[in-house]
Structure formats: C-alpha cells, structure tokens
Structure 1
Amino acid sequence: MRPLFRGPRRPAYASVGTTLIRVRDVVVEFGEKRVLDGIDLDIRAGEVLAIVGPNGAGKSTLLNVITGDAELVSGNVEVDGHAWHAWTGRELAMRRAVLLQQVDVSFPFTALEVTEMGRSPWANLPESQNDEQIVHGALARTETSHLVARSYSSLSGGERARVALARVLSQTAAAMLLDEPTAALDIRHQEQVLATARRYAATGSAVVVIIHDLDLAGAYADRVAVLAHGRIAADGPPEEVFSAELLSHVYDYPVHVVPDPITGAPVIVPIRTPKEQLL
C-alpha cells in the first residue's frame, strides 16, 4: 500500500519569548583565523534582535551560522529543537527567510515576480490560497507597488533592496534574518525597514538584523548583541548594553551615549575634534 503523502512539516505556533533558533558554543575558522569563538545566542519569537559590531567582528559569518550556511569547527545550531539537517530545504524556508546584503537575479524577472518567489515554500499547500494578498501586502509595506512591472535589474540599488525585502516578507517565515537591510537606503526608507521589522516581530515571529547604524539598533531592537573579535561582548536591551564605555572600547573610538529627547532610546554621538583643529 502506497504511504500517504503528508507534505512538509509546517512550523508550529510559538508563543512570544520561545526560542526558535538556538546557537551554542559555535566556533568558525577561515584557514588559521578564528572568526567566531564560543558563540551562544538565542533567537526568540516576538523579538527584534540587532547584531552590531565593528568591521571584521564576524557579523555576517554569525548570520551564516544562524541560517545554517556556515561550516562549524565545533558547536551546534538548532531550529525548532532540531539540527538544521533534520529539516528539508523547503521546511527550512518555512522557518527562516534570509535577506543578504547583495541580491542578484540572473534572469529578467520583474519586481512582482521576484516578490512572488517568496511564496515558493508554500506552493500547492492550503497557505498558497493567500499568495496574492500576501505578495501585494509586502509590496505595499515596502512602497514598491509602483515597481511591479519593472525589470528587477533595471531598478536602483535602493529599489532593489526594498523589492528584496518584499520577497522576504512574502515568505512569511517564522524568523526573518536581515543582513544590512538599510545599507543602500535613504533615511526615510531606513526608518521604514526597521519599523517593518518591528511589526513583523509583533506578529509573533523573530527578526534578526545585522546592522552598522547603532542609533537604528537602539531605536528599534528589543535586544542587541555586540560582537567583538569573534565573541559576544554584551547581549541585552539596548538601554542597558549601549554604554559609552563598552562602545568606545569595542569600536576603538570615543563616544557619548545620550537619550533621544522624545523616545528615550540611546543615541550614540562620536566625540569629534572641532573642525578648526583639523586644519
């Protein structure tokens, strides 16, 4: 008798605070260089986690660890309580959507077609009945609805970044992992992306953002993990973690940390030499 087709295992509903992805004692090396050294990190439902740190600290490598795309010297990574290899590629795509720094498309797809790619894990499943609504909602949230007929390759860098984010939103994964999502954007769209991340987390999903802008991290993240020399130097609410002493040490540059006059979120101000003294 032929076995019944059960289809891919869907993610179960996770209450806020549940650990969706667990990283334990991870070590990664490139040649003789140890890039990550003993990393422990929990990715939790309903939370925006910002990972910050200076250039070369290992942020993008840590994202690759979280997505299951890095080769580990030691340690382990679990999603939904199981190792990455316990899931099929499609099941993983239901559990985590990844936005890389550079998103290239080899064929002349339109912006709409690129966004629709995010629905592929749900093809031929009951969830696919909502594809059109989900895709157009993602385009609206990223203000890219007017670009749907344009070739993705013809878009500006900022427009591509926003369409790529629309694709990731369309995936409706349990965790959304973003690598420098604001790098190519103006200030308005930078704020929009982080506000969108907060709304996504408010649905009960987890969001991880690799970001250089400490002010954006302080304003929008529930937690920040500060990475330095391949280790996590601090992990907690930005109001507690972002101290002038820690940041000045990690970035090897003196800073002040002051509260935003409206929100109270920490604002990082570099201590600069007056320009007259630079002549």
Structure 2
Amino acid sequence: MEKNDLKALIEEIYENLLERIDAEENATKSQVVNYLKDAIDVVLNIDDKDIDSIEHAKAAFNNSYKELVKQSLISYKNTNDKFGELSQLNEQALQKCNDKHIDLKALTTKFGEIQSHMTDEVKKANQIISELSEKIKTLEETTNLDPLTKVFNRRALISYLDGVCANKTTPLMHAIMLDIDNFKTINDTYGHIAGDKILIFISNILRKTIKEGDKIFRFGGEEFTVILNRNDDEESEAIANRILKLISSNRLVYMGENILVTASIGMTKLIQNDTPDTLISRADKALYASKHNGKNMVSKVMR
C-alpha cells in the first residue's frame, strides 16, 4: 500500500471517529475503544495488491457509521413513542379529575409540570430524529458501497465510467449486465430475506470469478454490472458464460429449501466516443435480448 493510501485511510478513520463521537450525546471511552478495534480489523484485512481494497476499507467505515445512526434513530423513535403514550395517559388522568370535580389542585399542578416536561422531551427527540435522518440521507448519497452485498453501487459505477470515458484513448474494456431471473417470484415464494441472501450469493460468485483489476457494481435491485478490463471479446464472453454456469450449478439452501437461481447476461464493450449512458444502454439492450429469448443465457451487442 502506498504512503498516500495509508494517509487517506487514517484521515478517513479519524474523521469517522469524530463523527461517531459527535453523534452520541454521551460518548464513552468504551465506544471509542470498540471503534478502534474495528478499525484495526479492517486495516489488517486490506489486501495490498488489490487496487480497490483501500476504497472498500474507507467505505466500510462509512457504512458502519450509517448503521450507528440508524440504530440511534430507532432508539429515539421508541423514546418519542413512549413519551407520547405517557403524555396521553396524563391528559386522560387530568380529564377524569376535572369530570369528577375532585379538588386536587396541587396534583393537577404537578401533572401539568410533568406534561410540560414530556412535551419538551418529545420536541427534543423530534429534532434529533430530523438531524439523524439528514445524516443518513447524506451518507447514502455519498457512499460508494452497497451495504447489503458489499460491492460497489450504481453511483460508483457512473463515477468510474465517467473517468474511463473521459480518457483520450479507448482502453480494452467490456461491460456485463447481469439480472437475476424470476427474482420477484423468488421473493414472493420464499420472502425478502431469501432474496437478500440470493443477492449476496450472486455477489460472492462474481468475486470468485473475476480477476484483479475487474470491478463489480450493484446496478440496482437484482441487477449487477461487471467491468472486465484488458480482455478481448472471446475471453470476456468466456467469463460471462462461466459466471452463468456457476450461478445455475450452485443451489442456495434457505430454510431447508433448495432454491435454483439463474441469471440473464448482456455484454458489450467500450468503443470510441462512448459515454457511460451509451455503454450501459448497449449492455442493457443485450440483457433484454437474453430475457426475451428464454433467460439463463448470454447475449452480445458490441456496437
């Protein structure tokens, strides 16, 4: 790993740790220690030969922070709901006292103070919920990693292709668009948890199939995009067919059920004057051909 990469990673750890501390009303030493332990694990697992490893490590910190914010959000929502229930009970108690003409002035005054306190707490909780929601939105808009599959996301794909297409020379590059067949039926039959496991299952197969320098992106939903670098047409098609075979020959076991998964693939290659949109459009057109012609197959649209 280069010196600049190490510096970038340390800066990411430092900034993320400060964000975590700021997000906690009462941060503790134990929380800081646990974060640093997690950071050590991530750094130890960095592959110096993997050009994307540093980006995965940095993205891992961002996604970890996002999970922390979501947990805090749930906690504050629960607190808010509880205060709302107590406030309603208090109002009902006050109403009963008034209806029965019971002279409980002191008690009523105390209840009023409690009511005021709870109202203030609800307002504070709502404000914190709003702030945390904005933080989640910002993190989701800036992260490059898909939180479920841990591959790059669509935002990262467009950014990567922008850089490639901006080059004066046209590198040897192929794009594979993969879509899981009958994914909605699988979700309806086995549930969305099974669907999530299939997405992870596919991403793991893709990791095992591609070589160093190639990249995997979750394009959205059940679609993945794979960028193959420095392969000719024949080699790229062989990789696409190998991916197809690995997916269909490996069955996912979920809740005692064997789930057969297949995928359709569309393939194209980068040509002169391509933009991210034109490249993706051709790959998508090829994918449509695979879907239209029976699924579980590879189709090509090279120009």
Task: Give the TM interval when normalised to the shorter protein.
Answer: under 0.3
Report the TM-score, using the length of structure 2 for normalisation: 0.22
Structure possessing the higher radius of gyration over alpha carbons: 2
**The structure with more helix, counted as a fraction of residues:** 2
Report the TM-score, using the length of structure 1 for normalisation: 0.23
Larger relative CO (CA 8 A, sep 6+): 1 or 2? 1
**The structure with more strand, counted as a fraction of residues:** 1
